[in-house]
Structures are given as structure tokens and as C-alpha cells.
Amino acid sequence: MKLATYNVNGVNGRLPVLLRWLEASRPDVVCLQELKAPEDKFPEAAINDAGYEAIWHGQKSWNGVAILSRVGKPVETRRGLPGDPDDVHSRYIEAAVNGILVGGLYLPNGNPRPGPKFDYKLRWFDRLIDHAAELLASSMPVVLAGDFNVMPTEHDVYKPERWLDDALFAPEVRAAYFRLLDQGWTDSLRTMHPGETIYTFWDYFRNAYGRDAGLRIDHLLLSPSLADRLVGAQVDRDVRGWVKTSDHAPVWIELADAPSRC
């Protein structure tokens, strides 16, 4: 089973890129972020024509998350994280798909730091950690996939010394990420590429993609039963070089039907 995450940076404006990638890569399940489209403007017909069923949580001009599947319709179990009824941002959606619980997320950017946006990011991360603990306690096979807006280590960012004041590399944010992992989650991409420089995002400015001045901020975290089935993980880096593409590249993992390692 192939699961992917992709921050499309505008699902309608970059729909040709998304459809081209879906046809080329054929992931079974995809979590999308930054739809930047209200509920009624999600391109459901085009997604269906590509062979996928979808659920989505839209928002005009900002945010927005979706789960696509070609292995059975996603059965929605949650939209929005618990813990703050006043939070109206479209940043989390969850569904059962083909025997796996999939949580698709778009964690806040948090800049500028310090400030209210950074405080909101930390609160959102805390809510995610609380919800993730409940998911693990259920013993269900779970994947948390999306744009986490955090570079966990210096190995995940080009020239880390330039990012010391940024909310994506803040000590508090990186510590929150590892608090999440310490619950028992597996960072699938780093597990499969432990010593490799591998990025998922390249800014549009200063020829970042051409210079490979990137960041690793898109992650797929696996619960223990799924971690035992992990056999592959990769970034479709070339998609970032396509015309009118997102500043993120798709990231995918492959799961065996049964545990593959002890």
C-alpha cells in the first residue's frame, strides 16, 4: 500500500500538476494540504475522474486539507483537532481507509516568532500530541501525514544557522516534534534514509530548488503496527521542478501487507 502527503499550495491553481503526479505515481491514499479553496470549490469531479474518492475540509483562500483514496472511499472520523472549539482553521481531517486510520494535517507556520501566531502553533502542536496519544491508545494502525512545518534536526535544513530565529526551527517546536515521536511514532522518511540529506520543500526565491537549498517539513508518522510494515519511503523531488508547481514535493511511503521486520 502506497500512502503519500503533498502540500499542493492551491488545489485549483495547481490541479494539472496534481493530476499529472497522481497518474504518474499512483499512490493508494494521499493527504493534501493548503487547498486554499472553500468547501464548494474543491475539484471533486476531476479527482474522481482520476480514479480517487475524496473527503476534504476547505477554507477560503487559506489552509484546507483533504484525503484522497483509490482503495475505497475514506470514511471520515474527525475534522478539526479536539481541544479548542474556537479554532476554525481547516488544518486536520481524519478517516478510515482500507483498514488504516489516516490523519491528514497542516500544522501552523508560526511566524513571526515571538508573537500570537507562534503561540497558536505551540498550542496546536500540544493538541496534536494529546490527540495522537489517544490514537495510539486505541491500538489501531494509524498514520499521521502532512506538512508539520518543523525541521526536526539540523540534518533537515539547508544552512541551519540561518534558521535559528524561524518558527519552523524553534527549539520549542522541535522539542514538541520529538515529544510526539516519543509516544511511539516512527518518522518513516528518516527511518528509511537515516544518514541522507533529503528535503521536501524548496522556496520559490533565490533558485532554492536549483541549489538544493531545501527543508524537510513534510512527514509521515507511523504507529507501531504500521512501522513494522514499512518497506519504502521517498520524495518525488522532480515534481518540484515542474512548471507552475508547488514549493513542496510529494512524499510517499510503501507498506507491506504484513510486518516485514522484527
Average pLDDT over residues 90-108: 98
Query: Closest by alpha carbon to 239, among 64, 13, 12, 24?
Result: 24
* Sign for the pseudo-dihedral over CA of 122, 124, 128, 131: positive
Max intra-chain CA distance, the chain:
46
Query: Closest by alpha carbon to 250, among 25, 14, 16?
Result: 25
Q: Where residue 260 falls among pLDDT bands split at 50, 70, 90?
A: low
Whether residue 98 is predicted with pLDDT greater than 70 in this model: the reply is yes
Average pLDDT over residues 244-258: 97
Query: pLDDT tens for residues 218-250?
Result: 999 999 999 999 999 999 999 999 999 999 999
Report yes or no on whether pTM surpasses 0.85: yes
% of the chain surpassing 70 pLDDT:
99
Active site residues: 106, 147
Average pLDDT over residues 42-55: 98
**pLDDT score recorded for residue 262:** 45
Task: Name every residue whose Cβ is closer than 8 Å to that of residue 112 and which is 6 or more positions away in sequence.
Answer: 118, 167
Q: Where are the beta strands (DSSP E) in the chain?
A: 2-7, 29-33, 53-57, 65-69, 75-79, 92-97, 100-106, 142-147, 186-187, 201-202, 214-215, 218-222, 230-235, 251-255
Mean pLDDT, the chain, integer: 97
Q: Where residue 163 falls among pLDDT bands split at 50, 70, 90?
A: very high
Task: Give the C-alpha separation, 2 to 92, whole Å.
Answer: 21
**pLDDT score recorded for residue 84:** 97
Give me the DSSP letters along 180-246: HHTTT-EEHHHHHSTT----SEE-SSTTHHHHT-EE--EEEEE-HHHHTTEEEEEE-GGGGGSTT--
Whether residue 52 is predicted with pLDDT greater than 80 in this model: the reply is yes
Q: Residue 124 gets which letter from DSSP?
A: H
Q: Where residue 259 falls among pLDDT bands split at 50, 70, 90?
A: confident
Whether residue 261 is predicted with pLDDT greater than 90 in this model: the reply is no
Find where cell 513571526 sits: 112
Neighbours of 238 (CB within 10 A): 11
Polymer length in residues for the chain: 262
